[in-house]
Structure 1
C-alpha cells in the first residue's frame, strides 16, 4: 500500500524556516524530523512543552542512529560526525484564541522569516466539548485557530522570499462533512464523526477561498490527505479505527505532507489537494463558491477581534 509514498531528498538551506503545528507526535513529528534532517530550521508548535522537548530529543537520537549506521559502511577516513538538528519548540494551544494569538505574537516578535507553515495539529473529540471561547473543540482547534494563524502569517510568508507555502493536513473524511450554517457550532446536534469530518471539510473550503481572495499569489496553499494513519489521534477515533487494518505508520502518513512542503516540482502549485504523494481531486462540494463565501463570512465574524488590523491589504474581503 505504501510503495508509492515518497518525497525527494533535497538540501534545505538552514535559514529556511518551517512551522509544524502538532510536531511532537504522529504525522507532525515525522514531518518535522525529516525536514530538519534535510537541513531546515523547524519549529514545532505544541500545547505540551514537556512532550515537545522529549520529541526533539527523540528526533536527534533517531537521526544519529540512522546517520551512524550509514557512516559504518564508509571507509574510516570518509566518516563525519552527525549534525545537531535545528529543531525548537514554541507553545501553542489551538483550543484558545487568546493563546493562539499569544503564539502568533511571540513568533512575530522574533522577526524570523517563514517559508512554510504546516497546519498539522488535529483532534477528534468523542463528545461535545466547548472551548473557553464558546466553540466546539474540533471546530476551533482543527479549523478556526489554524485559519487565524494563516491570516496573521500570510504577510510574513509573502516577504520571506521565493517559494513559500502553507500546507494543511486535512483528511479524506472531508467527504462525509457538510456545511450547515444552522448547526455549524453544533447548536442543534453533535456527532463525533461529523464534527471531525466537518472540520477537515472547512480546511479545504478555506483553501479554495484563500486561493481566490489572497491578493499576492506568491504563497501557495494546499491540503493533503495523509491516508489512514495509526497515531494517538486516530486510535481514539471510532470512524478511523475501522480502517486500521489498512493503516499507515506515522512516517508513511507524513510523506504526502513532506512532499507538499518541500518538493521543488510543486513550486507555484496552489489550491490543490494531495493524496498518496500526488495531486488529486476533491469533490465538487468544497469548490462551491457560495458555500465558500458563507463559511468564510462566519469565520471572519468569529475571529474578528483577533484578526490583523491590516488584513484588507492582503486579503480581498
Structure 2
C-alpha cells in the first residue's frame, strides 16, 4: 500500500509531485500546539525550532529535563515568534509516559501535531522498566503508548471539532534500516535478545511504519492522520556518543556517518513537512524521506513522499496483527503497574 488519500483532502496539486521542500515552504503555524519528543538536540531540536519560528507553541520533551530546558532557551534565543516549553518524558518507562500525557492534558491546551522523534540506536544492551529490550521498548512500544494516550486530544482538536481546517497529525520517526527489519512474532518484547543491535533497531523501525499505516487506516474519517519519516544517515554528536562502540556494526555506522552523513537541520525536513504542510492532508500513511539506493540515502530532496522498501510496509494483514498483539502486551504491562489501560482506536 502506498499513500492513502482520505475524504476531505484539500484537492490542491498532488503533494507527491512536490520536490525539494524546505523550511521556507512551511506556512504560518500560529495558534498550533505541537509536541516534539527527543527535541533536546539533533533533528528534534531543529524541527521544534522551525515550527516555533513559524509561530507554533512547541513543547519539547526528553528524558533529561535540564537538557530540555536548555534546548528550549536556545530556541527562544534564535528569535522565534512562537512559544517553547520543556517537559520531562522518559519513553523507557510507561509510568513516565502516562505522567507526561496527564500533565499535558492538565494544561488544557489543544494538540495539533505529535512528532514521535525520540529513539535510540545501537546502544549498550539493556531493558526498559517494563522488561522490553531497550531499542524496541523506546523506539516502538513507547511511541505506541504515547500516541494512544494523546489520541483523544488530537481528535478533540481536529477538523471534526471545527478548531482547525486541516487534519491533526502524528509523525513518527522510522529509518532507512527498515529495509533490513522483520517482525519476531513470538517475541515482540525482545525477551530473547542478546544485544541491542542492528536487528533490534531495524525491526523496531519497520514496526513503526506498520503501526503508522494501521493506525492511519483505523483513523480514517476521524480528522487525525498519521505519517512516517526517515532521514538517512545524520551527523548528530549526541547519537554518536551514545553508540556502543564495542559493536563492529556501531563503528561502521559511525564511520559512514562521519564520511557521508548529513547535517541535522537538513535531515529534520522529513519531520517538518508532514508536521506542517497542509497539502499532505488526505495522504495519511505516507512516508517522507530522501531518495536512496539500498542503504545509501542521497542527501537531497529530504522531504519527498516515497514508499518504504520493506514488503511488510504493504502487508495490511501484518499491520493489524502487529497492532493487536502490541495492544495486548502494552495493556498487560500497564495492569502490572496499576496504570489505566488503553483502548484500540
TM-score, normalised to structure 2, is 0.79
Q: Does 1:57 align with 2:73?
A: yes
After TM superposition, the structure 1 stretch with the greater mean CA deviation from structure 2, 276-285 or 25-34, is 276-285
Q: How many residues align?
A: 291
CA RMSD of aligned residues (A): 2.1
Q: Per-residue CA shift, 1:42-74, capped at 9, x if unaligned?
A: 00011111111111121122x24xxxxxxxxxx
Check the 8 A contact 1:234/1:240 in 2, yes or no: no
- Counterpart in 2 of 1:280? 306
SS in 1 for 2:139: helix
Per the alignment, residue 233 of structure 1 pairs with 239
Query: What does 1:116-131 correspond to in 2, within 5 Å?
Result: 116-131=113-128
2:272 alignment partner in structure 1: 258
Checking the alignment, whether the CA contact within 8 Å between 1:158 and 1:216 is kept in structure 2 is no
Per the alignment, residue 104 of structure 2 pairs with: 107
CA displacement at 1:5 relative to structure 2: 5.5
Distance 1:267 1:51 in 2: 34
**2:331 matches 1:304:** yes
Question: What is the SS of the residue equivalent to 1:10?
Answer: coil
Pairs within 5 Å for 1:208-219 = 208-214=213-219, 216-219=221-224
Q: How does 1:154-169 map to 2 (within 5 A)?
A: 154-160=151-157, 161-162=163-164, 163-169=167-173
**CA distance in structure 2 between the aligned counterparts of 1:126 and 1:50, rounded to whole angstroms:** 22
Identify which range, 231-240 or 179-188, moves more after superposition. 231-240
Distance across 2 between alignment mates of 1:10 and 1:240: 35
Verify: 1:147 aligned to 2:144, yes or no: yes
Query: Contact (CA 8 Å) 2:120, 2:138: kept in 1 or not?
Result: yes
Contact kept? 2:89, 2:97, Cα under 8 Å: yes
Determine if contact 1:151/1:308 at 8 Å carries over to the other structure. no
Q: Could you tell me how far apart the structure 2 residues matched to 1:17 and 1:252 are?
A: 23
Partner Cα separation in structure 2 for residue 228 and residue 215 of structure 1: 32
Checking the alignment, whether the CA contact within 8 Å between 2:52 and 2:81 is kept in structure 1 is no
**Matching of residues 169-180 of structure 1 within 5 Å:** 169-180=173-184
* C-alpha contact 1:152 1:308 (8 A) present in aligned 2: no
Deviation at 1:215, TM superposition (A): 5.6
Q: In 1, Cα distance between the equivalents of 2:193 and 2:73?
A: 43
Equivalent residues of 2:41, 2:71 under 8 A apart: yes
The match for 1:30 is: 46
Cα distance in 1 for partners of 2:107, 2:82 equals 20
Determine the structure 1 residue equivalent to 2:26: 9
Question: Which of the numbers 256, 274, 277 marks the counterpart of 1:243?
Answer: 256
Q: Does 1:290 align with 2:294?
A: no
Kept after mapping to 1: 8 A contact 2:135/2:201: yes
Change (3 A) 1:202 1:234: farther
* Deviations 1:161-198, CA, capped at 9 Å, x for gaps: 33211111111111111101234333334341111111
Q: Whose Rg is larger?
A: 1
Cα offset, 1:25, TM superposition: 0.6
Tell me the distance in 1 between the aligned counterparts of 2:198 and 2:341.
36
Task: Point out where structure 2 has 5 or more consecutive residues left out of the alignment.
Answer: 1-18, 158-162, 244-249, 290-301
Unaligned runs of 5+ in 1: 65-82
1:185-214 per-position Cα deviation (integer Å, ceiling 9, x unaligned): 333343411111111111101011112223
